[in-house]
Structure 1
Amino acid sequence: MKIKALAVLPPLIFAGMAVAFWLGMQRDDPEALPSARAGQVAPELTLEPMPGEAGFDAETLRNPGAKLVNFWASWCAPCRVEHPHLAALAEEGVPIYGINYKDEPERALGFLRDLGNPFAAIAADASGRTALDWGVYGVPETYVLDGEGRIVLRFAGPITERVIDSQIRPAIAKANGN
């Protein structure tokens, strides 16, 4: 009898772990990786120009209106997944500034040639200094900034339609004072 009771234990443990994993995947918590910079003016930029592309600086991020800053890389698989969603936002008129993170310029430009360029301007963070200053955990990461260059939202991970509807659009509205 004792052996039969022990035989049930592994499936019960597995079922409990599966439920815990499933519940963890259902969380849509924007505070899961909070930004210490939320509500603050975005840090200065230590960026290099991307060959043949329009660049930007910290002053650009303080221009009127909401804007997104997206940290990405050509070697980043989730960046490929989110790219069509960034392109859709850009088509709607949302200005997106791309910061290419620790990448080779030729590969980054090839990525944009293949998938399209949703960025109003891009620059390279070859050393990772800007990402460190901004508190980036990894790419992709997207920040919504207001017209004063203040960080309204930080989202770590690939942007999806669900994320756009539940977090990005409300943050853009807040950044625009709506």
Structure 2
Amino acid sequence: MTKLNPLMVAPPLVFAAFALMFYFGLGKDDSHPSARQGGPAPALFLSPVGPEPTFGDAELREPGVKLVNVWASWCTPCRAEHPILVMLAEEGLPIYGINRDTDVDKALDFLEELGNPYTALGMDQGARTAIEWGATGVPETFIIDSEGIVVLRFAGPITQRVLESTVRPAIEAAK
């Protein structure tokens, strides 16, 4: 009778354990609701983006639903979602942009190339606004109601599917 060598059995067992953790982890929902969702829109600390109109806290508390989009010119997913933002702006939804670039010209070049869906925008060069809003990356989108309450925080690009399943229902809920 031969004895099992632990050095021969351990690697397959370790691999199997990691494979099971990976398999069951894929089905797990790791999304966490934003601490800002359901509360007032946080303070803004923005500088102008060239000649573009800027915005502040007062605009986010005006009547009507509005969308706040955190973006950057170097962000490929921001570029991918941009046509949807343009479409929403054409539908009449006020969209406010928080730009995370460090170069105003790059932000303006992005908007010149792809169109400007923003009612107003500001530059968040020191990331103070992103920190206050809990934005962990770009793009991120917030739906704000008439009282300035954050109805939805969505991290990631708005695709057509996300628009229909998540963003439009949040816009309706904010009305």
Shared fold by TM > 0.5?
A: yes
- 1:171 equivalenced with 2:170 (yes/no): yes
2:92 match: secondary structure = coil
Q: Is the 8 A contact 1:67 1:95 kept in 2?
A: yes
Q: Write the mapping of 1:29-108 to structure 2, written as runs, cut at 5 A.
A: 32-108=31-107
TM-score by length of 2: 0.85
- 1:160 equivalenced with 2:159 (yes/no): yes
Question: How far, CA to CA, are the matches of 1:67 and 1:84 in structure 2?
Answer: 17
Partner of 1:140: 139
Question: How far, CA to CA, are the matches of 1:148 and 1:140 in structure 2?
Answer: 24
2:77 match: secondary structure = helix
Q: Is the 8 A contact 1:75 1:103 kept in 2?
A: no
Q: Which runs of 5+ in 1 are unaligned?
A: none
Q: Is the 8 A contact 2:100 2:125 kept in 1?
A: yes
Number of residues of Structure 1 aligned to a counterpart in Structure 2: 170
How far apart are 1:166 and its partner, in Å?
0.9
2:57 match: secondary structure = coil
Q: Is the 8 A contact 2:61 2:148 kept in 1?
A: yes
How far apart are 1:124 and its partner, in Å?
0.5
2:143 match: secondary structure = strand
How far apart are 1:14 and its partner, in Å?
9.3
1:54-110 deviations in Å (ceiling 9; x for gaps): 111110000111100000000111111111111111111111100101431000000
Q: Write the mapping of 1:18-29 to structure 2, written as runs, cut at 5 A.
A: 23=27
Aligned residues: CA RMSD: 2.3
Q: Is the 8 A contact 2:101 2:107 kept in 1?
A: no
Q: Is the 8 A contact 2:73 2:101 kept in 1?
A: no
Question: How far, CA to CA, are the matches of 1:41 and 1:22 in structure 2?
Answer: 33
Q: Which runs of 5+ in 2 are unaligned?
A: none
How far apart are 1:17 and its partner, in Å?
7.5
Which amino acid letter does the alignment assign opposite residue 38 of structure 1?
Q
Question: How far, CA to CA, are the matches of 2:36 and 2:18 in structure 1?
Answer: 39
Task: Indicate how the Cα distance of structure 1 residues 127 and 11 shifts in structure 2: closer, same or farther if over 3 A, else same.
Answer: closer
How far apart are 1:154 and its partner, in Å?
0.2
Which amino acid letter does the alignment assign opposite residue 55 of structure 2?
F
Q: Percent identity?
A: 53
